[in-house]
Every structure is written in C-alpha cells, then in structure tokens.
Amino acid sequence: MGRWKDKYVIGLTGNIATGKSLVRRMLEHLGAYTIDADGLAHQAMAPGAPAYKPVVLTFGQWILDADKRIDRGRLGAVVFSHPEALKRLEALTHPIIIRAIDTLIARSKQKIVVVEAIKLLETPLADRLDAVWVVDADENTQLERLAKRGLDREAALKRVRSQNPQAEKLARADVIIYNEGTPDETWAQVRAAWKQVQTVMQQGDVEELVRRVDVAPGQHQPAAGQRAITSIDILRGMPQNAEQIASVLKLRTGRDLSREDVIMLLGQRSYMMAVADGRPLGLVGFVVENLVMRADELFVLKGAPVRPTISALLDAVEQASKALQSEIGYIFLPENTARDMVESVVQQGYQQMKIEEIRVPAWREAARESQPAGTVIFAKKLRAERVLKPL
C-alpha cells in the first residue's frame, strides 16, 4: 500500500479528450471510489471557496462574469496561452486540491480509490499512488472529440499541444487503456485491469441487485389480469443489463438505443432500474460529480406503483451518492410532471427551489450549469460536513 493506509489508490491520467472520465466512470460502476481532481479545482474556485480570492487577486477582476463568478473561458484563454500563468494558477490551486483529496480518500469506505487528473504526474500525488493508469488515444481522435465539444481546430490543437507529451505519461504507466475502439472494447480492458486490483485487495464484484423493498398492501392496484406487486428490486446499471435499460428508455422516450449506446451512456452517468417479477417499473439516471448528485431522468412506467417505485429508486440513488460523499442532491423534474410524481419526490425530503435560493455558491453553480431547460429543481442536503469549506 502507498500513502493511504488500507487503501489502493489508482492515479488515472492521460491528455485531454483521451477518455479519462469514461474510464473513471466505468471504475466507479465496478465499485471504486472515484475523484475528479480537475473538477475539484473548478469547485475550489467557486465564490466563497478557498481558491476564489487568491485566483482573483492574482489574475484580476476582469476574469469575473456579471455574477462575480470566475469565467473559465477568460481564465483559460490566459493560462493555456501563457505557460507561466498556468504555473501560477496551479501553485494556487494544487495545494488546496491535494488537501481535499487527502480528506476524501481518508473518509472513503471503499478500499479502491481512483484519482483522475490531467496533470496528476506533475503533482506531489504522483509519489503516493499505488498504480498509474493512462488512457490513450491518438491526436486525431482527440481533435475529433474536442470538435464535438464545440472547439475549432486551432483552439483544440492549442489545448492538446499545451500539455506535456502523452508519451511521458505512457512511460510511467502501470496500466494503459487504449480508448480508440468501441465502448465494449474499452470496458473489457478496464474490467481485466480491475480484476487484478481486486485480487490484490481481495475484493469481490459489486452486486447488480442494490436493494429489495417490500410494497405495502394497497399501494399497488393491478390492472385486470395482473398480480399485485409485493416487492421491488433495484438493479444497478451495468453492461450486463444494458439491453434492458435500452428497452426501458425506448418505452419512455421512443429512442432506439443499442447495447453500445447504453454502455457509452454508462461512461457518462449511472442508472438505477426498478424491477418487479422481471418487469421494469421505472428508471433514474444520475451523475455524481464534485460532491454533487444530479438526477435529470426519473420516471415510472405506466401501470407501476408511483410512490413505492420513486421511494425505492431515490433511496438507492442516495445510498450510492453518499458512498461517493455527495454533499447535496438535485432532482430536475419537467415543469409538467404529474402531481403524484412531485409529491413522491417531496415525500423523500426534497424541497423545490429556485437557483437563487441555493445558498452555497459551489452548489448554486452546479445547479445552474446542469439544470435542463423547462425543469424545476428539487434539492436535498445529503451531508452536513463540507470538504471545500469557504475561507
């Protein structure tokens, strides 16, 4: 073991647009506790967070937008064009991020931890890791992916070539994940490398069945010819049930998704699926990033009991989110959501809020960035203690 007692810590790195976040999310599904260090840096610079004042004092008020938040586009235009400016920014933020990572790893209940960062090997964290995993993709693939994010070729090339050469990272890798093929091919590489870590740590696989809950008599009025539902199983979204998730999404949205489409989705978010007697009842899609849980897909299929299904799904999401040390949870419901759905969410302890009513700046910014158009925010505090406390 390395720096952290009884923990196996994997440093996950690779240059921009190689697919680090995809691999991190896959490892999260397999049972690792994962940390997005670059995302923590963003949160550390939110108004009121520890790095906010030092960064503004160093680079000036002009980097702030109308709401006094640091405009990452303005700041990025400076630091990606001037290496000395980037070094100054990192000198301000890296110590704060490393302290936060220390805290998160120490209080993690999971024994295997993954820390993702582009500049991981250039920080003091590099000497504390048990293994370095590098995600690799060629430059043309990186540029294609950055183009899909809205960057023109010149800006994308500047981002790619402003970083230390990928070859330097590959030279220090204990594991290399080649993310050039299909999601299934990437998943197979991640799964094989994960198995080796499990052997070292004597860890078993996470269970697909997250929980089973009883449905009280009278909570489900079955249609003619159907049996009353007496219990609900909550299944974790995994590649092995990708086809079933695809069928549920099609029932709800009409989208025709393949198994590979769903595996790609699992590289971006998590799913919990409610099932009774092999029949799907509902689904929730959510993301846990930077200590904030955000659910923007929550639905119950026709004929399923609404309140027990919502309760079982949200209990499972909160359990998973707390394991990832989330401080707050958001559920985004369409403005025309049925009353019984809204009441079921409120019954779980979520409060309807407007963005300006969210008091913690980092939480408010997370809601602002991720709220889909035409939705209402429901919020619930999941943890009393914060990691990136204000100065």
247 and 115 inside one domain: no
- pLDDT tens figures, 25-54: 999 999 999 999 988 988 889 888 899 999
pLDDT on residue 391: 44
What does the mean pLDDT of the chain come to? 92
Residue range(s) defining the domain that contains residue 42 = 8-201
Q: Lowest mean pLDDT of 102-111, 148-157, 217-226, 301-310, name the range.
A: 217-226
Q: Give buried/exposed letters for 197-221 (b at 16+ CB in 10 A, else e).
A: bbeebebeeeeeebeebebeeebbe
pLDDT on residue 2: 61
Q: Which residues contact 130 (CB under 8 A, 6 or more apart)?
A: 1, 2, 8, 9, 10
359 part of a folded domain: yes
250 and 184 inside one domain: no
- pLDDT tens figures, 123-138: 888 999 999 999 999 9
Average pLDDT over every residue of 300-318: 95
390 part of a folded domain: no
Q: Give buried/exposed letters for 242-269 (b at 16+ CB in 10 A, else e).
A: bebbbebbeebeeeebeebbbbbbbbeb
pLDDT on residue 155: 87
pLDDT on residue 216: 87
Question: In the chain, how many domains are there?
Answer: 2
Task: Please give the Cα distance from 329 to 381 (Å, whole number).
Answer: 6
- pLDDT tens figures, 342-380: 999 999 999 999 999 999 888 998 999 999 999 999 999
pLDDT on residue 36: 95
Q: What's the predicted TM-score (pTM) here?
A: 0.91
389 part of a folded domain: no
167 and 20 inside one domain: yes
76 and 189 inside one domain: yes
Query: Which residues share a beta bridge with 209?
Result: 235
Q: Lowest mean pLDDT of 57-66, 132-141, 212-221, name the range.
A: 212-221
Q: Please say if the pLDDT value at position 225 is more than 70.
A: no
270 and 302 inside one domain: yes
pLDDT on residue 180: 92
Q: Please say if the pLDDT value at position 384 is more than 90.
A: no
Q: Please say if the pLDDT value at position 315 is more than 50.
A: yes
Amino acid 384 reads A
Please say which residue of 166, 201, 236 terminates a domain.
Answer: 201
What proportion of the chain, given as a percentage, has pLDDT over 90? 73
20 and 140 inside one domain: yes
306 and 195 inside one domain: no
